[in-house]
Amino acid sequence: MTGELSPIDKAKFVAAKRAAEFVEDGMRVGLGTGSTAAWLVRCLGEMVREDGLRIRGVPTSTRTGQLAREAGIEVITLDEARWLDVTIDGADEFDSDLNLIKGGGGALLQEKIVATASDQMVVIADAGKEVGTLGAFALPVEVIPFGASCTRTLIEETLVSMDVLGRQVSLRMNGDAPFMTDEGNHILDLHLKRIGNVRQLSLVLNQIPGVVENGLFIDICDTVVIGYGDGRVEVRDINEGTVEKGRLDFVESDNLFSDLAD
C-alpha cells in the first residue's frame, strides 16, 4: 500500500514510524491531532495488537480519540493520567530552536495543555515544515465567541507594534459558519508572513481579553523527527544537541494506513 503514497505521505509515515520507537510498554502517551499524528496513532495501534504493547493514550481532540479507540489503544483523560511520559504530535512549522506553530487542525488548546503536561514532547513532521523563521503558516489564535469581534480588533491593533510582516486577521470558517473548537471557541488566523520575536508575540497575544491561547509552542518541543519521501529519517534532540540520521524501509500493509493518505 505504501508504494501508492505520495512522497509527502511517505515522509509522514516514516516520521511517525520512527517516533513510535519513543513509546515503551506501560507509558501514558499524549496523542496529537492532524494527518501526521494520525499515522502515529495507527502505528501505535499496530504495536498494541501485534506486539502486545500496553499504553494508555490521552488524545488532543475528539477525532484523535475516536481514531485511537478504533486502532485498539486504551484512551483515558488527562485528569485520569495526571501526567504523561511523552506526547507525540505534528506541527505546521518548526524552526531551528524547535519552536512551533500549531493549530492548523483547530486543536491547539488541548495540544498545548497535553504537551506541557508531559515529560517529553516529540514532534513528527515532513521536511517541508522546517522554516528559517516562523510565520509563513498562519498563526491560529483561539478566542471565546463572546465579543469575538472586539477581540479581533484588539489583536489587529496589537499587531501594529509587533515585529511581523503581515497583519491580516481572518475568522476561520467551516462552510458558512465559524469553525468551532472542541471547547466551543472560534479561531482567528493571523497571516503574519514572518514573526520576528515569537516570545514577545505569544506573551502579548495571551494578555488580550477574549484570547484563550495561541498556536506558538515555545520551549515545549524536545525532539523533532523529520521524514523524507525517500524513506530517510532525521531525529534532532534540542536538549542533547544531537542529530541522528537513518532510513526506514517501506513495508506493505493491506489496510493499516489506507485511509490516512490525506
Average pLDDT over residues 122-132: 97
261 found inside a domain: no
Q: Which domain holds residue 109?
A: 2-127+219-247
The response to whether 34 counts as a known ligand-binding position is yes
Number of H helices, E strands in the chain: 7, 17
Which pLDDT band holds residue 251 (cuts at 50, 70, 90)? Answer: low
CATH code for position 158: 3.30.70.260
48 and 111 part of one domain:
yes
Give yes or no: residues 94 and 146 share one domain: no
User: Which regions of the chain does DSSP assign to beta strands (E)?
Assistant: 28-31, 56-59, 74-75, 86-89, 93-94, 100-101, 121-126, 139-143, 168-171, 173-174, 177-178, 186-191, 211-214, 216-217, 223-227, 232-237, 242-247
Contact criterion met (CB below 8 Å) for 136 and 102: no
Asked whether residue 257 is domain-assigned, the answer is no
Q: What pLDDT score does 157 carry?
A: 98
Q: Which helix (H) or strand (E) holds 190?
A: strand 186-191
Same domain, 50 and 108: yes
Residue 154 lies in a domain: yes
Q: Are residues 211 and 225 in the same domain?
A: no
Q: Are 56 and 36 in contact (CB under 8 A)?
A: no
pLDDT for the residue numbered 262: 39
Tell whether 156 and 121 lie within a shared domain.
no
Active site residues: 111
Judge whether 36 is annotated as a binding position: yes
For residue range 83-115, what is the model confidence (pLDDT) as tens digits?
999 999 999 999 999 999 999 999 999 999 999
258 occurs within a structural domain = no
Does the annotation list 35 as a binding residue? yes
pLDDT in the model for residue 260: 42
CATH number for 19: 3.40.50.1360
Rounded to the nearest 10 degrees, the angle between the axes of helix 35-51 and helix 62-71 is 30
**Cα of 231 vs its chain's centroid, Å:** 21
Residues 84 and 174 in one domain: no
Determine if residue 72 is labeled as part of a ligand binding site. Answer: no
Task: Write down the pLDDT at residue 3.
Answer: 52
- In this prediction, residues 6-10 reach a mean pLDDT of 93
Residue pLDDT, tens place only, 29-71: 999 999 999 999 999 999 999 999 999 999 999 999 999 999 9
Positive or negative: CA dihedral 153, 159, 165, 171: negative
Same domain, 154 and 59: no
User: pLDDT by residue (tens digit) across 78-89?
Assistant: 999 999 999 999
Q: How long is the chain?
A: 262
Same domain for 84 and 6, yes or no, is yes
Each residue's pLDDT tens digit, 190-246:
999 999 999 999 999 999 999 999 999 999 999 999 999 999 999 999 999 999 999
Same domain? For 145 and 22 the reply is no
Task: State the DSSP H helix or E strand holding residue 212, giving kind and residue range, or none if neither.
Answer: strand 211-214
| Secondary structure class of 183 (helix, strand, coil) | coil
Phi first, then psi, for residue 141 (nearest 5°) are: -130, 120
Give the residue from 215, 236, 257 where a domain finishes: 215
Beta bridge partners of 227: 126, 233
The answer to whether residue 256 sits within a structural domain is: no
User: 174, 197, 215 — which closes off a domain?
Assistant: 215
Q: What value does the mean pLDDT take over residues 116-127? A: 98
Query: Any known ligand binding at 118?
Result: no
